[in-house]
Chain A
Amino acid sequence: MHFADIEASAPDVGFFEIHAENYMGAGGAPHAQLTRLRRDFPLSIHGVGLSIGGAEPLDREHLARVKTLVDRYKPAAFSEHLAWSTQGGRFLNDLLALPYNASTLTHVVAHVNEIQEALARPILIENPAAYLRFQSSDYSEIEFLREVVRRTDCRLLLDVTNAYISATNLGFSAEDYIDAFPMSFVEEIHLAGYAEDADEVGDPLLIDAHCAPVQEGVWRLYVHALSRCRPVATLIEWDNDVPPWKVLFAQAMRAESFLARRRSAVEDNSISAAIQ
């Protein structure tokens, strides 16, 4: 929606990310705009429809559509979610939670393998925002993600806001989650603003709404995460009540300032390593 502003200002941003499913029509303005965007900027493609966390076989037609898009635009990364969104041929348009156990692990691993084989590249899997837990979970989310990475050689997309939301909603430490996260496999970070609510007993219930500026607690967690990883590409997700381009751009610039600090810190480290 900010295409004209982006074209006019040629902003100094690292990359743009698109939702795969919005670009699965045959032609028209979406592809015309994306072709021009891809010419001027690196691109990351983010899917919401493969339903990797479901027990059902992948929708092969949808996988073929993803492949067509990835082959056409050759993005720097293709990412999807540790979640499910389709059941019985019906698409629910939400990223739904799954229990973490041996049975679901088998499905997720098979799905990630199938997608990576089709696309002939590793994909990034994103940690979800959690609102509740399943009694049938035998793994923590981190243990589950580590197993998926180990068995598929996929990479990870760390959504810092989702980590913050899950920690708040389920009552664990977000810093501990980040400290345990397999950072060496993280190739992209997402930041977004959440919405605040409370459950029936007054406990905080944060909702992954992508509708607001990134909150200070999330920025602090982001800086903490950056101290543990390479300065990886970071995206501001804001797709509900989208603000003017300059507001979104200012958020991206704030992330960039943290990334720049991390880059110089990494360089300092490598210089001191060379001196030693």
Chain B
Amino acid sequence: MTAPADFDQGAFVRALLDPELPPPNGLETPRGFSPEKRFAVYRNNVCVGLVDALSERFPVCWQLVGEEFFRAMAHCYMREFLPCAPMLFEYGGGFATFVSQFEPARELSYLSDVARLEYAVGQAYHAEDAAPLTIGSVRALPPDRLENATATLHPSTQVIASTYPIVSIWRQHMSGEEMTPLDLNRGEEALVVRPELEIRVSTLPAGGAVFVDALQDRQTFGEAVNAATAVATDFDLTACLRELILAEAFVAIRVAH
């Protein structure tokens, strides 16, 4: 007796992902009939499972385009990009980019940025824990020493700058409140932080995202202000710090001596 050849999992997966292909060779059913519908159980499990995972991760995008459109779009994404690890909460990292190039969604130009915000919210949920500085201790810092200080932000901190009002869109859909018309030409810079267990999404003033990026890069507050001012000449440092403090985004601030 010869050893059986290795089971061709690659062929199995190709047939799973392409409903145009017949089931792989070598399958049997009890009465010898076609394995098509039985194999379709696996096809369905894979497709529905991953599309459901994307529906849960991007609930506002789902609302914005409706169930049918969302599932069709998610299905296209899934066929091109399968998860590369078994943690489904990481799945969809490339979804926003995919959406931005998805021709049928072209008219909804803000959809991709809303997807980026939703993915950031999901990542914040699972991010590393760290104790935030209390609002009082941040306020107690000497303002004149801040220029050369550096900060450690909470590991969950993420910013998304958009030319669309993504925070307002996200909040209206998440709250289930009555929609009010939004000025789609007014951009928003989203701040996502999860200081304890609750996720906070707020809006930073123009330039705020660049400011936070610079702080996360270990630049000083002074350098971060310069970077922010370079993209937004009217960068409002006080308003930006207020939002960061209220969101409890600071874990440590090191004042230079």
B13 touches A171 (CB 8 A): no
* Cβ–Cβ < 8 Å partners of A84 in chain B: 9
Closest to B44 in A: A207
Cβ of B257 under 8 Å from chain A: no
Task: Give the most central of A48, A92, A98: most B CB within 10 Å.
Answer: A92
C-beta contact mask, B174-201 vs A, less than 8 Å → 1, else 0? 0000000000000000000010010000
What is the CB-to-nearest-CB distance from A125 to chain B, in angstroms, rounded to a whole number?
17
A199: contacting residue among B38, B85, B126, B128, CB under 8 A: B38
B104 proximal to A (CB < 8 A): no
Query: Considering only CB atoms, which chain B residue lies closest to A198 in the complex?
Result: B37
Give min CB distance, A25 to chain B, whole Å: 3
- The answer, yes or no, to whether B5 is at the interface (CB within 8 Å) is yes
Nearest Cβ on chain B to A261's Cβ, whole angstroms: 35
Indicate if the CB atoms of A135 and B27 lie closer than 8 Å: yes
Tell me, rounded to whole Å, the shortest Cβ–Cβ distance linking A73 to chain B.
16
Q: Which of B6, B39, B49, B125 contacts A132 (CB 8 A)?
A: B39
**In chain B, what residue has the closest Cβ to A103?**
B4
- B29 x A132 contact (CB < 8 A): yes
In the complex, what residues of A have CB within 8 A of residue B34's CB?
200
Instruction: Find out whether the CB atom of B89 lies under 8 angstroms from the CB atom of A22.
Output: yes
Contact of A11 with B by CB under 8 A: no
Q: Which residues of A contact B88 (CB under 8 A)?
A: 21-22, 93
The interface on chain B, measured as residues whose beta carbon lies within 8 A of the other chain's beta carbons, has a size of 48
* Beta-carbon contact of A92 and B38 below 8 Å: no
Cα distance, A25 to B87, chains bound together (Å): 8
- B7 and A55 form a contact (CB under 8 A): yes
Q: Is B142 an interface residue (CB 8 A)?
A: no
| CB contact under 8 A between A21 and B87, given known A132-B28, A133-B29, A205-B38 | yes
Interface: B252 (CB within 8 A): no
Q: How far is the CB of B172 from chain A (nearest CB, A)?
A: 24
**Do residues B26 and A90 form an inter-chain contact, with CB atoms below 8 A?**
no
How far is A31 from B129 in the complex, measured between Cα atoms in Å?
Answer: 10
Chain B, residue nearest A50 (CB): B86
Interface pair B41/A131, CB less than 8 Å apart: yes
A88-B42 in contact (CB<8A): no
Q: Are B84 and A91 in contact (CB under 8 A)?
A: yes
Closest beta carbon of chain B to A63's beta carbon, Å: 11
In the complex, chain B residues whose CB is within 8 Å of the CB of A96? 12, 16, 42
Collect the chain B residues with CB atoms within 8 Å of residue A86's CB: 86
Question: With an 8 A cutoff between CB atoms, is B45 at the interface?
Answer: yes
Contact assessment for A92 and B126 in the assembled complex, using a CB-CB cutoff below 8 Å: no
Say whether A132 contacts B38, CB under 8 Å.
yes
Proximity string of chain A (91-108) to chain B, C-beta cutoff 8 Å, 1 when within and 0 when not: 111101111011110000
**What's the Cα separation between A133 and B124 when bound, in Å?**
43
Chain A CB count within 10 A is highest, among B29, B34, B84, B127, for B29
Chain B residues with Cβ under 8 A from A88's Cβ? 10, 13
From 99 to 158 in chain B, residues with beta carbon under 8 angstroms from any chain A beta carbon are 124-129, 155-156
Contact A85 B9 (CB under 8 A): no
A31 to B125, CA, bound (A): 11
Judge whether A244 is part of the interface by a CB distance below 8 angstroms.
Answer: no
Kindly supply a per-residue 1/0 record for chain A positions 23-58, scoring 1 wherever the CB is within 8 Å of any chain B CB and 0 otherwise. 011111111100000000000000011000011100
Q: Is the CB of A32 within 8 A of B197?
A: yes
What are the 3 tightest A-B residue pairs by CB atom distance, in nearest-first order?
A25-B126, A49-B86, A27-B129
10 contacts across the A-B interface (CB closer than 8 A): A30-B125, A48-B86, A56-B9, A91-B85, A91-B86, A92-B82, A93-B88, A99-B7, A131-B38, A132-B35
